[in-house]
Amino acid sequence: MTSKQVLLLIATALLIGGCSLLEGRGADPLHSPYLTRRVWAVAPLRNESGSLQADGQSLADDLVGHLENASNLDVLPVNRVLAAMEALDIAEVSTPAEAKQLLRALGVDGLVVGTITAYDPYDPPKLGLAVELYVNEQVEYYDSLNVRALAQASTDPGTLPDPPALIQPINSVSAVLDASDPVVRKRLMRYAVNRGQVKETGSWHLYRISMDLYSDFASYVMSWRLLRAETLRVTPPEKQASSRL
């Protein structure tokens, strides 16, 4: 066997081993920190990218698709949000006041709003997103009170403390996911294999040439980060996991 054949066998073994390891890891599953069911909604994202091709409603649909897979979390379809926005005469959610108005009109526990900050669909694609979470202050406040103290208190609603007026997002995350970045490419390849879209080694590049698939990946990353931020906010420090994305 020639030295060239030996090198070829070694390269093939490393490639197969690396792909097996990658397929075994998959993408991290989404989890919410809630012990009871919560209902969220996602508003169409504002387009501040400068590109006319960016579609805020499509990206909101992608976010819904990922967030509703998280434990103890239900998410309203985007068309329900659009109907409520039309009834309120809100063209797009651009202020905290509009977000709170829409949240209350929908009767949900949380509302996700966001912005498309960068959009380049050409290989290697780039997508920048910033998302914020607004919550129902009554659910948020009374859930945080000591349950035993509430049980011992008078049943007269007038004796319960009033929740604070939350007019700012409770959480916000942002990222510019550029497929030319080696770290982003590694995560993209891992995600593509896990989603079952990739059947052959190397075919993950479909996620680079299809902006719809790349947007799905970016929406997963933002959903993971938003839920991670919410977990850090509501979970005691001693119980917080140390994983990162």
d(Cα 37, Cα 167) in Å, to the nearest integer?
23
DSSP-assigned letter for residue 203: G
Domain-located, residue 172:
yes
Residue 237 scores a pLDDT above 80: no
Q: Name the burial class of residue 139, with classes exposed (0-12), middle (13-18) and buried (19+) by CB atoms within 10 angstroms of its CB.
A: middle
**Number of compact structural domains in the chain:** 1
Higher pLDDT, 140 or 35: 35
Domain-located, residue 49:
yes
Report pLDDT digits (tens) over 97-131.
999 999 999 999 999 999 999 999 999 999 999 99
Domain range for 79 is 28-149+166-178+216-239
Q: Which CATH number is 55's domain given?
A: 3.40.50.10610
Report pLDDT digits (tens) over 21-68.
333 234 678 999 999 999 999 999 999 999 999 999 999 999 999 999
Domain-located, residue 156:
no
Residue 145 scores a pLDDT above 80: no
The confidence score (pLDDT) of residue 201 equals 53
Domain-located, residue 204:
no
Domain-located, residue 227:
yes
Domain-located, residue 206:
no
Could you tell me which residues come within 8 angstroms of residue 108 by beta carbon, excluding any fewer than 6 positions away?
39, 40, 41, 76, 136
Domain-located, residue 199:
no
d(Cα 231, Cα 243) in Å, to the nearest integer?
12
Domain-located, residue 46:
yes
